[in-house]
Amino acid sequence: MNQKTGHALIQDYLRTLERSPGVYRMLDAQGAVLYVGKARDLRARVSNYARPSGHSARIARMIRETCSMMFLTTRTETEALLLEQNLIKQLKPRYNVLLRDDKSFPNILVAKSHAFPQIKKHRGAKSEKGDYYGPFASAGAVNRTLNQLQRVFLLRNCTDSVFESRTRPCLLYQIKRCSAPCVGRISEKDYAGLVSDAERFLQGKSTDIQATLAREMAEASEAMEFERAAALRDRIKALTAVQSVQAINPRGVAEADIIALHMESGQACVQVFFIRGNQSWGNRDFYPRLGGAESQDEVMQAFLMQFYDDKPPPRMILLSHPPEDPELTAEVLGQRAGRRVEVLAPQRGEKFELVTNALRNARESLARRMSESAAQQKLLAGVAEAFDLPAAPRRIEVYDNSHIQGSNAVGGMIVAGPEGYVKSQYRKFNIKGTEITPGDDFGMMKEVLTRRFQRLLKEDPDRQTEAWPDLLLIDGGAGQVSAVESILTELGVDDMPVIGVAKGVDRDHGKEEFHRPGKRPFALRMNDPVLYFVQRLRDEAHRWAIGTHRARRAKSVMANPLDEISGIGAARKRALLAHFGSAKAVSRAGLPDLQAVEGISAAMAQKVYDHFHAKG
């Protein structure tokens, strides 16, 4: 067995390496992957690590920890780059740059499966028939654009089932945001014209649309169709308002992603602006995890490859800093897009101004994040001191329940850490236990914690990942804390710090009492920042649980028993409700009465009757 480590070990590998493109992995003593890299010439690249000196602190530390290596040769350097990124995404090595935000970006979909196309927000696979426009930086950016499109083009956003069931125009028609095709207020041909105009707008041709609307308004006025002229005037005013509030609309850049990187104190912020149809469709910031002391070109290349791993690149990408290998990067992105992709780091002109603006945003965003992170670290250290924890917690889980007299009961869990609330880790638990009596908060908490920690014990019994909390905060006093302690002990988790946050005298904010297993309750002074921090955590958990409960309650209120019967679509449902007046009346109807409803066959009537009269 080879006992060598570090550069001596790497020197031994050199004897067997080929001078071909490929990917190498550096592993520690436990077999965990430290780093994944690609090379045009594996032997030449790995020989750099065999030198005993001349490395940065980060590379030197990585070499010292290396106890074995793995190699895969490829036919081309392009294949090596693609394989490298797949392995980084799968293995998440400690010393690689890693993009942690994997949320998809929303698009606008003009659905074409209906005679009157619907316009709506879409996220995920583009499997539905229609035209897609995006990406947009956020749901907010999509919603603002949809709102603008409604004002100007009067397109419907209702679902097909709602469209089919309408008998009179909805509120959107009344406030001039829909042309009411559902009740025949506009012909199919005229509606198709509105759809065409909306798509031209999304393609950046709004000036042509405005000229066309102005000409139509003039023609309507000459023909003394004053009501139509007034409607066209309102649409022109709405379009003018849209054009006046749109920010950063470049004249010379029709389609591009603008990507700017700022690095400081071992941290990085990447700002991405989306330009489509000569319009800005928002921006989003990213904070990739760094291995330590990477160069800007290394971070930029890693970001580009991971960012475009699951989304098609635009025709042009404007960068604040060129990537490590610009030609290879452009080639790989072009393969993913199925067409040529320009990767530029402009030095002058409008493109340079766009990049400069994005870079300023990246610099300011990173400064804010570092300031907030420092304050958060101080608060977490204060929590450790206040509650006698061995170290500042990196993951705090806060639990709360919500119900109304036991109905629609849910449990909520929020997560906070060094970077604030970790909303992607929030969880909701629909209370399923049939033996829990209405309003039994202890029973609900037992179910929530049992489900949560059973899953943790199954997925990570050795507590190797960051999924395990360092502290549990429970909304409640000594009774709740004692119950939680017994639940965790029963599960074999007997070393988890638990704090109960109970309202103090007169149930006032600021007079909270804190309960710990086997210890006397205590309070923090009124102006203690840790007290305010714990209050905010408790209130956020309460907000999350209440919101989840309201959503579940609303869903149960809107639920219709007829929706559960296969074969009952919108038309048959409408016929049954029109005939009987309510779903309850349908459930009480006899078989002959059901067969008398227009559109309900004998077989369907039998199915509806059996659904409501099935023997337990």
Instruction: Compare 199 and 250 and report the one with higher pLDDT.
Output: 199
Question: Where among 38, 59, 91 does a domain terminate?
Answer: 91
Span 164-193, mean pLDDT? 90
How many angstroms separate the CA atoms of 446 and 451, rounded? 8
Span 593-609, mean pLDDT? 89
Asked if residue 391 is part of any domain, the answer here is no
Q: Encoding tokens for residue 83?
A: 């394989």
The pLDDT assigned to 616 comes to 41
pLDDT of 488 above 60: yes
Q: Encoding tokens for residue 20?
A: 């071909």
At 66, which amino acid appears?
T
Asked if residue 27 is part of any domain, the answer here is yes
Q: Do 430 and 321 belong to one domain?
A: no
Share of the chain above pLDDT 90, in %: 36
The pLDDT assigned to 1 comes to 44
Instruction: Compare 35 and 251 and report the one with higher pLDDT.
Output: 35
Span 583-597, mean pLDDT? 86
Q: Do 48 and 32 belong to one domain?
A: yes
Q: Do 496 and 460 belong to one domain?
A: yes
Instruction: Say how many C-beta atoms besides its own lie within 10 A of residue 415's C-beta.
Output: 19
Q: Do 32 and 56 belong to one domain?
A: yes
- Give 406-437 pLDDT, tens digit per residue: 456 788 899 999 888 988 889 888 877 666 66
Highest mean pLDDT among 156-170, 331-345, 434-448: 331-345
Q: What is the pTM of this model?
A: 0.71
Least confident range of 194-198, 309-313, 382-386, 402-406: 402-406
Q: Do 343 and 435 belong to one domain?
A: no
Asked if residue 404 is part of any domain, the answer here is yes
Q: Do 204 and 300 belong to one domain?
A: no
How many angstroms separate the CA atoms of 560 and 574, rounded? 12
Highest mean pLDDT among 17-26, 248-257, 369-378, 439-448: 17-26
**First CA to last CA across the chain, in angstroms?**
67
The pLDDT assigned to 124 comes to 84
Instruction: Compare 249 and 355 and report the one with higher pLDDT.
Output: 355
Instruction: Say how many C-beta atoms besides its own lie within 10 A of residue 182's C-beta.
Output: 21
- Residue 142 β-bridge partners: none
Asked if residue 405 is part of any domain, the answer here is yes
Asked if residue 207 is part of any domain, the answer here is yes
Instruction: Compare 292 and 55 and report the one with higher pLDDT.
Output: 55
Range(s) of the domain holding residue 205: 107-245
Q: Do 528 and 589 belong to one domain?
A: no
The pLDDT assigned to 247 comes to 46
Q: Do 525 and 568 belong to one domain?
A: no
| Burial classification of residue 494, based on how many CB atoms lie within 10 Å of its CB (0-12 exposed, 13-18 middle, 19 or more buried) | exposed
- Looking up residue 541, the CATH number of its domain turns out to be 3.30.420.340
Question: Where among 51, 67, 91 does a domain terminate?
Answer: 91
- Looking up residue 609, the CATH number of its domain turns out to be 1.10.150.20
Least confident range of 9-13, 215-219, 452-456, 480-484: 215-219
Q: Do 173 and 82 belong to one domain?
A: no
- Give 216-258 pLDDT, tens digit per residue: 788 888 888 777 787 777 777 766 665 554 445 567 788 899 9
pLDDT of 75 above 60: yes
Asked if residue 477 is part of any domain, the answer here is yes
Highest mean pLDDT among 277-281, 409-413, 589-593: 589-593
Instruction: Compare 585 and 188 and report the one with higher pLDDT.
Output: 188
Q: Are 135 and 105 within 8 A, CB to CB?
A: yes
Instruction: Compare 144 and 471 and report the one with higher pLDDT.
Output: 471
Tell me the three state secondary structure of residue 506: helix
- Looking up residue 84, the CATH number of its domain turns out to be 3.40.1440.10
Question: Where among 245, 266, 296 does a domain terminate?
Answer: 245
How many angstroms separate the CA atoms of 332 and 76, rounded? 11
| Concatenated DSSP letters of 540-585 | HHHHHHHHHHHHHHHHHHH--GGGGSTT--HHHHHHHHHHHSSHHH
Total structural domains within the chain: 5
CA-CA distances (angstroms) from residue 313 to 277, 281, 341? 15, 15, 7
Q: Do 515 and 591 belong to one domain?
A: no
Span 43-61, mean pLDDT? 88
Highest mean pLDDT among 349-363, 390-404, 550-564: 349-363
For all residues of the chain together, what is the average pLDDT? 85
Asked if residue 387 is part of any domain, the answer here is no
Confidence of residue 286 (pLDDT cuts 50, 70, 90): very high
Q: Do 419 and 477 belong to one domain?
A: yes
Q: Do 418 and 548 belong to one domain?
A: yes
Least Cα distance to 452 among 438, 468, 434 occurs for 468
- Give 389-401 pLDDT, tens digit per residue: 999 999 999 998 8
Asked if residue 11 is part of any domain, the answer here is yes
- Give 544-558 pLDDT, tens digit per residue: 888 876 776 666 555
CA atoms within 13 Å, Cβ hemisphere of 178: 20
User: Where would I find the beta strands (DSSP E) of 320-446?
Assistant: 342-344, 396-404, 407-417, 420-421, 427-430
How many angstroms separate the CA atoms of 76 and 222, rounded? 68
pLDDT of 278 above 90: no
How many angstroms separate the CA atoms of 26 and 508, rounded? 56
